Chain A
Amino acid sequence: MAQRRTILQILSSILPLSLLSGTSACAQEHPPPAKPPGRDYYQELGVKPFINAAGAYSALGGARMRPQVADAMRYAATRKVKMRELHDAVGQRIAELVGSESAMVTSGATAAMVLGTAACMTLGDEDKMQQLPDTTGIKDEIIIQKKHRYTYDRALTVAGGRFVEVETEDDVRHVVNERTAMMFFLKPTHIGDNIPADRYVALAKELVIPSFCDAATTTPPGSNVVAGVNEGFDLICYSGGKGLRGPYSAGLLIGRADLVRYARQNAAPNDVSIGRGMKVSSEEYLGMLVALEASLGISEEADFTYKRNRFNNIIEQVADLPGVSTRVFVSASETNELYLDIDWDPDIIRLNRQQFIDALRDETPAVEVRLLLFSGGKIHLSATVMDDGQDIIAGQVIRKVMLEHS
């Protein structure tokens, strides 16, 4: 809690008060599911609609964009500007908002990792940029803590990087050499590490190696971006289409001015860059900025109230079923996400967790829920991507499935 206050204090020193007041109308808007204006494309295509009670997963289409983000995208879609000018202006504005030297919008957190790695390996050298992913004569070693090896570290090898695993500070000092390009760090902290963030950053500075932090999933709250930037990593990245509720294929790369500039050189729309395939449209660039502004301005209390109301409507549908228990809680990590935990007595409702998930998926509308590994494989529902009204339907579907198996 003390930590949260600090973050808010930092925020208030950077943001205009109007953004901090939090109860602005736009931040509170949760419009009902959109009625298709003309064509119902999904019906035409036979794509089955579903209620997302799982969360902002890429495979499920990411987060629900805030209305002002969708508006900003429509705005940019109908007005052409020069990409470089837009990149400069939006980058500068994002940097101001989060208190960093520099920033850019990428085509997602993974792209930010690829471009950040490419930046640290090439440091603005034209020939080297041209040569990637062939790293002959190029710094290509990336120091990573063993406990930070994970699914998305794959992105660090896309530009040609190679892992050097470490466990202790001594290990780091021992493996650093003239081929070391970058020191990588993974957040959130509950993942565990031997060398904590502050020590890792200090060590990188001492050894003069650029440090990079993947903080992709550490929002909400949006204020965590400011807090992350303040930890002093040379580069830090965030997913745009998840906790920040920005465009699906957008993300943020924030940090040292020189390194962000090098990352941009390795990216679209530069024709011969390794990242030319990772295009970011002007609507995504602008949408990402508006999403960040909104995320920094929203009151967490209002967000939690919204989610709590969705959960209460679900609970109402199942509370009277024998053997069913529910619990609303905040995840015990730096990502302050509210979850609804649903459990049942398997002797009364004869479903294991996977069967429950599959049964919900077969209903119309389907309801998507997930087993969350961090909580020991319990069924947790998220209201992050749930519209007002979908909650009751989801609750009814869950009730139906439970009754059918009682």
Chain B
Amino acid sequence: MKTNRRHFLAGLSAIAPLSSFSLKASAEAATLDYFSNLGVRPFINAIGPYSSLGGAEMWPEVIDAMDYAIKNKARMSDLHDAVGRRIAELTGAEAAMVTAGATCGIILGTAACMTLGDAEKMERLPDTSGMANEVIILKSQRYLYDRSIRAPGAKLVEVASAADIRAAINPSTAMLFYLLNRPDDDTIEAPEYVAIAKEHGVPILCDAATTVPPIANLKATVAAGFDLICYSGGKGLRGPYSAGLLLGRPDLIQFARRNGSPNHRAYGRSMKVAPEEYLGMMVAVEKSMTFDEEAEYQRQLEIVNAMGSDLSTMQGVETRTRTPGAEAREPYIEVHWDTDSYKITPATVKQALRDGDPSIEIRALFLSDGQVHLTATMLKEGEAEIVSSSLKEILLASA
């Protein structure tokens, strides 16, 4: 599970051009310094837009749209219809809805496939006795978040091959699950998986949560024929933190909506999505569609390279710039050190940076000797220098 997680996070990708980030918004609101009053410390994020660290920086346009929705009320069903239509147009999907995050997308999608609009079944979840409740998943694609498939009461059925899938499909099969962005260990490629699903008339849900940017991935995945696809909103798309997208077949999206908020007795009533999140998510998709990704990628590359040059001036320290291909658009550097010269583990380095002032978060690979990763996605102006000099100090102190 640990290895999977690491792999999965390595695929996390997002871009945040702080240079283009308008400071106007924050200046306007800076009447009270809430976080400082609460004793909540700021920190430097050299690890990436993780949920536990507050996700990605939202586009300024998203924040403006959220403010608009906070101050102007609309009927939720009108808003859901209109924003859903607009996101479908933008992405090329048949239908779309905004969810309370990618996990919520998986939960509502699974609930939709199990209940197919049957009111009595919806009312009964997570008790799934007597309904199609099996979800087929590749053994190689078991991961942290498959937990959410079980939340509404589904049972996971593991398979390893195309033949397995065909043998496993039976009247209790509710859905086929596919995790995108795991190219190394996929025993079955997406097109074949989709084809099997179609051949048997079983809906297929794809978790593509962390596969953007590049935004081209989104359109390609929509075109790949999955019945449902979910995305995280607060990471690569730089939308609201607790928002996500569920795209797909109109009937299934309709069923998913019925299992969601604000329907009073829905299984998913608790996963509320605010009007500001609905609208903010739409603007985030719009913005992501027109953003110059290449320029942002180059900007990040320059920053990580600069950190790399600075660090490799030290004796016994080596850095390597990693520029993953189209699947993950987040350049990063690996920092290696000679463990005879610097007697410190990656875990200790991570902790020392976290405990420092300012506090810095980095990715440490616990299983490999002397290696940490630095990313530039979330770094603000001037922070890269602080990260590399702090890391140098800690390494020197251990020598």
Find chain B residues with CB under 8 A from A276 CB: 101, 103, 145, 147-148, 151
Q: Which residue of A lies closest to B56 (CB)?
A: A80
Q: Which B residues from 96 to 140 make CB contacts under 8 A with A?
A: 99-101, 103-104, 106-107, 123, 125-127
**Cβ B78 vs Cβ A47 within 8 A:** yes
CB-CB < 8 A to B74: which residues of A? 42, 47-50, 61
Given contacts A77-B58, A81-B42, contact A249 B64 (CB under 8 A): no
CB contact under 8 A between A72 and B34, given known A81-B40, A82-B53, A133-B126: yes
Contacts A110-B270, A110-B272, A111-B272; is A83 near B52 (CB within 8 Å)? yes
Task: Name the segment of B198-206, B220-228, B274-282 touching the other chain.
Answer: B274-282
Q: What residues of chain A lie closer than 8 Å to B234, measured between beta carbons?
A: 281
- B267-295: which residues lie under 8 A (CB-CB) from chain A? 267-277, 279, 283
CB under 8 Å from chain A, chain B span 24-80: 25-26, 28-32, 34-35, 38-43, 45, 51-55, 57-58, 63-79
Q: Which residue of B lies closest to A72 (CB)?
A: B34
Binding site for A on B (CB under 8 A): 25-26, 28-32, 34-35, 38-43, 45, 51-55, 57-58, 63-79, 82-83, 86, 99-101, 103-104, 106-107, 123, 125-127, 144-145, 147-148, 150-153, 234, 240-242, 261-262, 264-277, 279, 283, 361, 378
A87 CB, min distance to chain B CBs, angstroms: 10
Contact B45 A158 (CB under 8 A): no
A60, CB-defined interface residue at 8 Å: yes
Residues of A within 8 A of B63 (CB): 74, 77-78
- Chain A neighbourhood of B41, CB < 8 A: 81-82, 85
8 A-B pairs closest in CB distance: A34-B71, A279-B242, A249-B272, A281-B241, A248-B274, A133-B126, A111-B270, A277-B104
Q: Tell me if A373 counts as interface (CB < 8 A to partner B).
A: no
**Measured CA separation A271–B270 after assembly (Å):** 17
Q: Is A272 an interface residue (CB 8 A)?
A: yes
CA distance in complex: A192, B361 (Å): 53
Stretch from A227-235, A282-290, A319-327 contacting the other chain? A282-290
Query: Nearest CB to that of B26 among chain A residues?
Result: A78
A106–B269 Cα distance when bound, in Å, is 13
> Whole-angstrom distance between the alpha carbons of A89 and B40 in the complex?
7
Contacting pair A79 B26 (CB below 8 A): yes
**Count the A residues whose beta carbon is within 8 Å of the partner chain — how many?**
85
Interface hub of B42, B264, B269 (most chain A Cβ within 10 A)? B269
Chain B residues lying within 8 Å of A241, measured Cβ to Cβ, are 274
Contact of B270 among A34, A60, A158, A368 (CB under 8 A): A158
* Binary contact readout A264-283 vs B (1 if CB under 8 angstroms, 0 otherwise): 00001101111111111111
User: For the complex, what is the distance from the CA of A192 to the CA of B160, rounded to whole Å?
Assistant: 56
Instruction: Say whether A385 faces chain B, with CB atoms less than 8 Å apart.
Output: yes
Which listed residue, A106, A151, A160, A286, touches B126 by the CB 8 Å rule?
A: A160
Q: Is A144 in contact with chain B by the CB < 8 A criterion?
A: no
Closest to A162 in B: B127
